[in-house]
């Protein structure tokens, strides 16, 4: 690729991942369509985007871990319940018609934003909820289902994790975004990238610019989320879910 194309990729990744790290997901809203527009087939674009998304998680992790440790039980649950779903989803996507999957995911994503908007106090203040055995089992089953979506599709599935952590476990938005970016961004997307890389192809020559933009964007977005807090993150989350849902439905 020539220098101007690498610069375009870097800027796209930077902007997409700043928004994603601030709102708790959704980098694919900007990044994936650009990769397809620049000439990559869908499967190749998806695999390449997944690899770049790991850098988003790393950048956000560097910033969030400076604020304190994550709860070990929730970390374990996100990994144990989510990773098998990611691997299943990455293998199933080849059998699902693109438009059917996109419209279904778009409706669900749009519903997330509307639900959060109709709950004005949701996620503004953390409280401990459903942290018993039954709560962890139900929470894990939903995370497993979201993992399947994460492995098979890319636009906005991290937003599902963010809202589920807020709604079910009582995290505030800032806490939930930290879990999403660290665990979904690094581990879920890493597993999806490896699986899709085996099943499809990764455009390695595009990755330096994407990785650099994702890493920096992840750090800057996480920094903004920590500084601005829940009253900025919540409306940003709602706006992003509505935009992603509408884009998926329209196609």
- pLDDT of 76-104, one tens digit each? 999 999 999 988 887 876 666 667 766 77
User: Would you place residue 197 in the very low, low, confident or very high pLDDT band (cuts 50, 70, 90)?
Assistant: confident
| pLDDT of 1 higher than 60 | no
DSSP string for residues in the chain = --HHHHHHHHHHHHHHHHHHHHHTS-THHHHHHHHHHTT--HHHHHHHHHHHHHHHHHHHHHHHGGG-PPPHHHHHHHHHHHHHHHHHHHHHGGGS-HHHHHHHHHHHHHHHHHHHHH-TTTTSS----S-SHHHHHHHHHHHHHHHHHHHH--SSHHHHHHHHHHHHH---HHHHHHHIIIIIIIIIHHHHHHHHHHHS---GGGHHHHHHHHHHHHHHHHHHHHHH-HHHHHHHHHHHHHHHHHHHHH-
Per-residue pLDDT tens over the stretch 150-191: 777 655 678 889 999 999 999 999 889 889 988 888 898 888
> Domain residue spans in the chain?
3-250
- Among 55-64, 92-101, 123-132, 145-154, name the one with the lowest average pLDDT: 92-101
Per-residue pLDDT tens over the stretch 211-224: 999 999 999 988 88
pTM: 0.84
> What is residue 208's predicted lDDT score, i.e. its pLDDT?
92
């Amino acid at each position: 690729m020539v220098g101007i194309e690498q610069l375009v990729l870097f800027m796209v990744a930077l902007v997409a991942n700043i928004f994603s790290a601030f709102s708790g997901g959704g980098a694919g809203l900007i990044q994936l369509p650009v990769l397809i527009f620049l000439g990559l087939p869908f499967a190749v674009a998806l695999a390449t985007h997944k690899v770049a998304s790991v850098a988003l998680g790393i950048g956000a992790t560097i910033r969030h871990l400076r604020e304190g440790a994550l709860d070990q039980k929730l970390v374990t649950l996100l990994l144990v319940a989510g990773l098998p779903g990611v691997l299943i989803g990455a293998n199933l996507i080849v059998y699902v018609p693109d438009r059917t999957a996109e419209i279904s995911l778009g409706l669900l994503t749009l519903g997330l934003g509307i639900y959060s908007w109709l709950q004005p106090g949701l996620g503004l203040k953390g409280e401990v909820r459903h942290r018993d055995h039954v709560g962890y089992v139900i929470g894990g089953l939903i995370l497993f289902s979201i993992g399947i979506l994460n492995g098979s599709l890319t636009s906005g599935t991290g937003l599902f994790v963010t809202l589920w952590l807020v709604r079910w476990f009582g995290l505030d938005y800032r806490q939930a975004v930290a879990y999403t970016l660290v665990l979904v961004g690094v581990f879920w997307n890493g597993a999806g990238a490896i699986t899709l890389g085996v099943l499809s192809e990764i455009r390695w020559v595009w990755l330096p610019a994407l990785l650099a933009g994702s890493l920096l964007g992840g750090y800057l977005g996480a920094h903004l989320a920590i500084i601005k807090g829940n009253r900025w993150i919540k409306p940003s989350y709602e706006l992003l879910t509505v935009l992603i849902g509408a884009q998926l439905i329209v196609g």
